[in-house]
Structure 1
Amino acid sequence: MIRFDLGRFLLVFMASVLVFLGEVQAQKSPLIMKHADSLAVARKRGSLLLQGRVHFIHDSVNVRTQRATWNKDGEVVACEGGFQFTHPSGWIDAKQGVYQKKKGIASATGDVHAGDSAKTYYATGEYVEYDKEHEILTMPEKPVLYYYDKKDTVRNGKQEVQVDTVTVVAKRIVYNKKETFAEGKGDASITHKDVSIKADEMTYDRKIDYARGVGNVVITHDSVTVYADRINYNKKDDFAEAFNNVKVTQEDMVVTCDTGYFDRKNNWMSMKGNPKCELKNYNLTGDSIFLTLDSSGKSLKSALVIRNAHGLQQEDAKRNSPGSVTEAFGDTLYAQFDGNKIERLYVNLNARGFFYEKDLDNYRNNMNGDRLDMYFENGKMHHAIVSGKAQSTYYYVKKDRSVSGRNEAAGDTIYIKFDPRKNAVKTLRMLGGSTTPSSGRYVDMEKENRNKKNLTESAPKADIADKPVDVVGTAKSKTLKAATQSLLKAKRPQEASQEKKK
C-alpha cells in the first residue's frame, strides 16, 4: 500500500511556487540605471547615451561599462566601453556586450572571459551568449572551456588543495552549467593530464566524468594512440571504448579491430571483430585478442588470442644467415613478451606449427599435436614441445644450402631443441604413450633423388614409328582399306597356289 505524505508534498509544491514567482518577479522587475557620469538623448528614439562609470541593476544582475546605449522601451543595454556582467552564479567580461532584460540573455563580444563564483569553470572566446534562466553558455567563436575539480589531499603531513583541470576546445561549445554538461562541435578536443581526445564532435558530462567522441576520433595517452569512428571515455576509471575502424599504435606495435576496450589504469586492451596485432617481427590474428602491457604501459607483456588463433614470427636475414619464418595455428594462442620480444608461445587445441628459412620456403618443418609450446631466447626459437598425438617433420640443410634429408617423428610427446645461431634442430626426443607409440624415420633425400635420376636415365626410349597415329573421319576408313589390300597381297605361297588350282 502506498502512503501519501501530505506534508512533504506541500513543502515541494510551495518551493516550486516560490521559484516560479521569483522568475515571474524577475521578469517584471525593472532595469535600473544606478549611475552614469553623463547622460544624453541618443538619435534613436527612446534611447539614451550614457558615459562614464555606467552601472545598471536588474535584481541580482549588475552591468558595468564606460559607454552604453540604453533602450528604455525594449529594456536593452548595449555596452561599447567594456562589458562587465555579474550574476549570482558567475560573471562575464568582454570588450563589448548587450544585456536584454526581457529575454534574460547577455551576449559579449571581443576577448571574452567568463566563469562562476565557485571557480568550477572558466571560459574564453570571441563571442559568448548567456541564457540567465537556463544557465547555458553558447560560445561559437574560438571557445575554450576549463573545468576545475578541487580535491583535498595530504602532502608531507600538510593538507593541500589539488586542482584537476579538464580542457575543452572546439569551433563551437555549448555549456549547460546546471547539468555540468558540455558539447563541442568542429575540431573538438578534450584534454585531461596526459590524455587528449580529438573528434569532429564531443560531449563531456562532468557529473559522471564521461566523454563521448564521434567522427575521426583520436585518443593520445603517453605513447599510446587510438583511432576510431566513435569512442567513449570514462575519466574516473581511465577506461575507453572504441568502435569501428579501430587502430591502436604504440611504438613498434600496431593493433587494428572493429571494437576495442582499453583500461589504462590496469594496463590492458581487448579487441574483437577481425583483430590483428602487429609488432616489429610478430603478427597475431584471431576472433578476439587480449593484450596486457607492463607497469609503465609502454611495452607489451602478454597476448591471448581466442578462436582461429594464428601467430607469425619473422626474422630478417643477417650476414650469411637467411631470414626465417615461424607460424603457429590453433584454437587458443598465448604469448609472453619482454621488451616487445617474444619469450614464450603456446597453442592449445588442434595445434600446428611450422618453421622454415626464407630461401627454402618449399621445405617447411612441421609440428602438429593437441598442444604446442615454443620457447625463445632473444627473439629466436630455443626449444619446442609438441604434446598429444604429436607429429613432426624436420629437413636437414647442408652448408651449401642443399637439403640432404628429412626426419619424420611421431609420439605422445616430442621435444625439439634448436641451435639459435644456426637456426637448426639440435636434438629431437620422442615419448610414446598408450594411444600414440613413438616412431621415427630418416629419409635420405639425396639418395632418393639419385635413384629417381637413375631410373629416368635407364628407362627405354620410345621409337617414333611405334607411336600410334590417330586418324579421324574419311582418312581413317581409307587407311584401313589400304592396309587390308596390303595384307591380301602378302599371302603365303601355298594359299596363292591353291587359288590358282581353283
Structure 2
Amino acid sequence: MNIRSKFLIVPLGLLLATLVPAGPEPNHNTACAQDKKIILERADRLQGGEERSPAGRIEQVRTVSGNVVFRQENLLLRCDRATEFLESGTVKLRGDIFITDGKIEVYCDNALYFPDRKIAELEKNVRSRTLEDDLRTKSKRAKIDNVNDRVWIFDDAVAWQDDRQLSGDSIMVQLAEIDGKKKAKHIVTSGKAFFAARDTADTSKELYNQLSGRKMTIDLKDGSGVEGIRVESQARSLYHTYDGGEPSGVNYSSGNVIEMFFREGKLHRILVSGNVEGKQYPDRLRGASDINLPGFRLRFDERPQF
C-alpha cells in the first residue's frame, strides 16, 4: 500500500522569541533600560508614587500613561499604561498592549516583565501572528523565558496556520541557535494535545488527518521542517490512505506511544507501541464524523482577526 498523507507542523517559537527584551535597568530617560535601551518615544502623562508590586511589597514607582510608545531598534511597543517598580525593576504593562518587530505581532491586555529572571508573563486575550506566513495563536496566558530560550502559551492554547490546527492545555516551544538565528527546535504540547491537518491529497478539502494524546513532542529539523513526532499516553492517530493515488480508506491506530517519522515534510513511517490497537476503515467511511478521534474540533472561526 502506498501511503500518501502529509502532516505539517508550524514553528511556533518564531512568534514571541524576539519580542521581549532582556535585562532592563532604571535609566533617567527611559521607563526601563538595558544594554540596548528601550526608549520612551511618547506618553501623555508621567508620574511617580508608590504601589504594591507583584512581589507584594510597597515600592516607589514611575508610571507613564496615555498613548504610550516604546521603541528599541526595530522593536515597537504600545500600551495604555506602563509602570516600573524602582526597587525590583519589574515592569507592568496594562491596556491594549501591542508588540512588533515588523515580522511578528503580539497583542494582550496585561503583561509583566521580571528583569532579574528575564521572564515575561502575558495574560488576558493573548494573541499573535507572523506577518510572512500568517501563523496565528490564541491563549489566555503566555510566558517567555529568555534565559532558557523557551516560550509557553497556556490555558486553551491554540495555533493555526493555513489548514492546520494545534491545541492543548499548554504549548511550549524550545528555541535553539541555528545558522546564527533563534529558531524553534522542539514543540511540546501537554494536556489534551491535538493536531489536525487537512488532507492535502483530498480534492474535497474536507478531510483532516488527526493526532492526539496527553503529550505531543514535535522535533523540527534545522528549526524548520518536521523531523519527527512522538505522542505519549492515550496516543491516537487517524489518517487517510491512498493506493496508487486513489483513496483506499482511513487508518486508525492507538497505543501508549505513537512515533511518526518524516521525509521532506511527508509522513514516511509510523511506529505504535504498548497496548496497540489498529483498524483500517473502508473508503466509504471517509469523512464520517463518528470515526474522528475523541476531541476533534475545528476552531478556525476562532482565529484572531487583526
Residue equivalent to 2:37: 165
Is residue 170–residue 189 contact of structure 1 (8 Å, CA) maintained in 2? yes
Deviation at 1:269, TM superposition (A): 0.9
Residue equivalent to 1:189: 69
Is residue 311–residue 333 contact of structure 1 (8 Å, CA) maintained in 2? no
Map of 1:314-463 to 2, 5 A cutoff? 314-317=198-201, 325-338=208-221, 339-356=223-240, 363-394=249-280
Is residue 248–residue 282 contact of structure 2 (8 Å, CA) maintained in 1? no
Instruction: Provide closer, same or farther for how the CA distance between residues 360 and 207 of structure 1 changes in structure 2, counting only shifts above 3 A.
Output: farther
Give unmatched runs, 5+ long, in structure 1: 1-119, 123-144, 150-162, 404-502
Alignment TM-score, normalising by the size of structure 2: 0.66
Between the two proteins, the alignment pairs up a number of residues equal to 242
Q: 1:215 aligns with which of 56, 76, 95?
A: 95
> Distance in 2 between the 1:257 and 1:322 partners?
27
Map of 1:28-47 to 2, 5 A cutoff? none
Deviation at 1:326, TM superposition (A): 2.5
Classify the secondary structure of the residue corresponding to 1:165: coil
Q: Give the structure with the larger helix fraction.
A: 1
Map of 1:147-296 to 2, 5 A cutoff? 164-168=36-40, 169-174=42-47, 181-221=61-101, 223-235=103-115, 237-250=117-130, 251-252=132-133, 253-280=135-162, 282-295=164-177
Is residue 325–residue 357 contact of structure 1 (8 Å, CA) maintained in 2? no
Show CA shifts across 1:238-265 (max 9, x none): 4210011111333533221101101234
Is residue 212–residue 232 contact of structure 1 (8 Å, CA) maintained in 2? yes
Structure 2 letter corresponding to 1:190: F
Which structure is larger by alpha-carbon Rg, 1 or 2? 1
Instruction: Provide closer, same or farther for how the CA distance between residues 396 and 356 of structure 1 changes in structure 2, counting only shifts above 3 A.
Output: same
Classify the secondary structure of the residue corresponding to 1:287: strand
Deviation at 1:207, TM superposition (A): 4.6
Greater relative contact order: 1 or 2 (C-alpha under 8 angstroms, separation 6 or more)? Answer: 2
Is residue 193–residue 214 contact of structure 2 (8 Å, CA) maintained in 1? yes
1:121 equivalent in alignment to 2:4:
no
> Distance in 1 between the 2:81 and 2:110 partners?
10
Instruction: Provide closer, same or farther for how the CA distance between residues 231 and 146 of structure 1 changes in structure 2, counting only shifts above 3 A.
Output: closer
Is residue 189–residue 202 contact of structure 1 (8 Å, CA) maintained in 2? no
> Distance in 1 between the 2:176 and 2:102 partners?
14
Q: What is the Cα-based RMSD across aligned positions, in Å?
A: 3.6
> Distance in 2 between the 1:221 and 1:341 partners?
24
Show CA shifts across 1:169-216 (max 9, x none): 21222257xx88431111112334554331111112355433211111
Instruction: Provide closer, same or farther for how the CA distance between residues 239 and 215 of structure 1 changes in structure 2, counting only shifts above 3 A.
Output: same
Is residue 89–residue 115 contact of structure 2 (8 Å, CA) maintained in 1? yes
Deviation at 1:370, TM superposition (A): 1.7
